[in-house]
Chain A
Amino acid sequence: MKRINRILPHITIILAGMFIVFWTLDILNPVMNFINRKASNKLLLVFCILAIITSIMNVYYERKYDSVKTDSNNCKKENKSE
């Protein structure tokens, strides 16, 4: 799980980079139809799914980090008051 967590953002970055390349090429030569091909559409779907998973993971870990931080702050406060 931890390994997947590490790899997923990189795959998302790679796919995002690919689509930036396709978008640039498509502007130069729309006849080549880089973005609207069947294979590109499938890649786009994969990219969207990965982006959602990565974002959910990011939100989850951020919330977890926040709650841990809040808990530790509370603990510190309690220790100080004691």
Chain B
Amino acid sequence: MKNASKSRRMPVLAMIITDTILMAAAVGVFMLFDYVMPHSGNTNGTVVAQVDSQAENTFELPSASKSSDADSSSDDSETSSQDSSSVVTSQPTITTTAPQTEKKPKRTTANWYDNTGTDQYEADQNAISSITNASVTSEQIDSYTGDDAEITIYKKSVGEGSEKITYYVADVYVTNAGVIKTAFANDTYGKNIKSNVSQMARTHDAIWAINGDFYGNSEEGIVIRNGVKYRDNLNDADVCVLFTDGTVKTYSADEFNTDTVIALGAWQAWCFGPQLLDGNGNVLSSFNTTTYLNSSNPRSAMGYCEPGHYIFVTVDGRNEGYSKGATLSELAAIMSDEGCKYAYNLDGGKSAMMYFDGEVINQPDGGGRDISDIIYIGG
């Protein structure tokens, strides 16, 4: 009898294998349910801010200030300029700036799994100086002039060989903060609701778009979009807020207070990060990130120069010889070089995509992926 019950028992090795397979299956089902299956947020949000384009906080576009100077001297231009309310131009110009200094960035010696000082991840000064001292090849690849926005797209690269970083810069001027809009995938707020950048941009007649913070991948973090608050349960991530007066401020999780930013007129709030600059254009001494996330990757970031003037950057990566991607220190240096006071890291990796005039202009890793939200102009 004892032998019979013993023979029915599974061998130890088979038991271990079965348990491991079941565990993998359980993790897979969990991931499928929590990270893939869409869950509608079932909320229309609460309106917390509105931008009045006629209000006093309206900014002048660079071309408008130039033309107002020129208007006094020549009225003929009116006849020659056809309907110039919305013009897309393509003027490739290549420039190289700054002297080249051959400084190879030293990589951090920390292991990929070492999260020592996660909240105080020290900026890599060698990587920063390698960007700020290197020559930048810049090519203007496109531009757009509309009634309420001017966008100039540059393709830039820095470094050589395996250290080369290629990135796209959208130099954006707007007449008021309301011109910078955001959109959800399928126009629905919720978890795991995804669509591709081009589709979302076309749906909203956007001339330009960039990926957002992939809010739908998480259940936590502030979500304020186009003046509507959808979520305000906070996590440890840094927050970036675009206010209705056109200013942008980045906050660490400790500094951030939802009621305060709503009272100040929060038009958009993103929760991903980390913040990259200190408000005066200097690279922060430490970032709220981990060693793994700080490695060279494709990245997107938004920067603030002054009310009405913003810089959006998409760094290509994981493509040796074309672009290795950027660490957070390198991205911060790029944003500082572009003249930003505040800068904020958006979702990266395969999500890093920039769209202009009907197509994705950068080379996303693996062709990109579907994401939750975009930042766009137009429509």
User: Is there contact, CB below 8 Å, between A13 and B19?
Assistant: yes
- Number of A interface residues, CB 8 Å? 20
Is A72 an interface residue, CB under 8 A from the partner?
A: no
Contacts A33-B218, A43-B30 given; does A27 touch B23 at CB 8 Å? no
How many B residues face the partner with a CB closer than 8 A?
Answer: 26
Number of A-B contacts (CB under 8 A): 57
Residues of chain B with a CB closer than 8 A to A43's CB: 30
In the complex, the answer to whether B23 meets A29 with C-beta atoms within 8 Å is no
B331 to chain A, nearest CB (A): 16
Q: Which of A21, A28, A30, A37 contacts B27 (CB 8 A)?
A: A21
Closest Cβ–Cβ distance, residue B104 to chain A (whole Å)? 27
Q: Is there contact, CB below 8 Å, between B272 and A27?
A: no
Is the beta-carbon distance between A14 and B19 smaller than 8 angstroms?
Answer: yes
**Given A27-B113, A37-B219, is A14 in contact with B23 using a C-beta cutoff of 8 Å?**
yes
Q: Which B217-263 residues have a C-beta within 8 angstroms of A? A: 217-220, 235-237
Whether A32 contacts B236 by the Cβ 8 Å rule is no
Given A14-B19, A17-B20, A37-B34, A28:B26 Cβ within 8 A: no
A29, B292: Cβ atoms closer than 8 Å: yes
Q: CB-defined interface of A29-65 with B at 8 Å, one 1/0 digit per residue?
A: 1111100111110010000000000000000000000
Partner of A29, one of B22, B27, B30, B293: B293
A14 touches B293 (CB 8 A): no
5 contacts between A and B (CB under 8 A): A17-B20, A27-B113, A28-B293, A29-B293, A37-B34
